Structure 1
């Protein structure tokens, strides 16, 4: 079952989105200037995942001022906190804000480099992804 959920997540249809067109060094430099004093992470090969939550969980997320959307990135380019290494995958916490090539979770700003995608996923698919490999720093699955 988990394999089927992940297969659909990774290979099923998605809406293509464009992120920042700068190269890695330019993204890192611009992010240091723009997000002084705030944790940020530059990523590539990313997907925004609109999570279909049960009503009670969705209300809980919204009461925190967040949206039921997370970022999955296959490749970390730079992590200002130094927790993730280059090319680590990550799964963010729920979305606080999204604008163009900047995805902000509760605690971290993510700069989206290159092309990415957006799709809807079930909560079980998100749980399967969280259990798969290096799931990054997301906190939304904690009970």
Structure 2
């Protein structure tokens, strides 16, 4: 799979990962069993971005209940709250957890990662310059 993020901005593709491989309905049902009340948003063509931060910045982020990780997806497949139109891109707020290889949590949303994606490190500036 080729990179769908600007290679000049973020360099190589990073580590290839595999999100949920079954149908979107099965993915959403599996996520709903784990997250009873959180809104779900299914995405494709995704990348998890590990923000390059100092130890001091990491400590502040962790103290706030987050991790220095973000999600960028080129394609929203389904958003329960209809905040994002199908086919549009999305960049998450800072993540709180990444579980089971396909569930990316923020304080407000659980992103269900479908199909292949990537994970890589990037500067905060590069992350916020995406779209």
TM-score of the aligned structures, taking structure 2 as reference length: 0.83
- The root-mean-square deviation of aligned C-alpha atoms, in Å, is 2.2
- Per-residue CA deviations over 1:49-68 (Å, capped at 9, x if unaligned) read 00112454333211112110
Cα distance in 2, alignment partners of residues 26 and 35 from structure 1: 14
The aligned length equals 126
Q: Which residue of 2 aligns with 1:94?
A: 94
Higher helix proportion (structure 1 or 2): 1
**Structure 2: segments with no counterpart, 5+ residues:** none
The question of 1:125 aligning with 2:130 is answered no
Matched with 2:8 is: 8
**1:83-141 residue CA offsets vs partner (Å, 9 max, x unmatched):** 11111111111121111211111221111110110000011111211xx1xxxxxxxxx
Which residues in structure 2 correspond to 1:80-91 (within 5 Å)? Answer: 80-91=80-91
| TM-score normalised by structure 1 residue count | 0.77
Could you list the runs of 5+ residues in structure 1 that have no partner in the other structure? 133-143
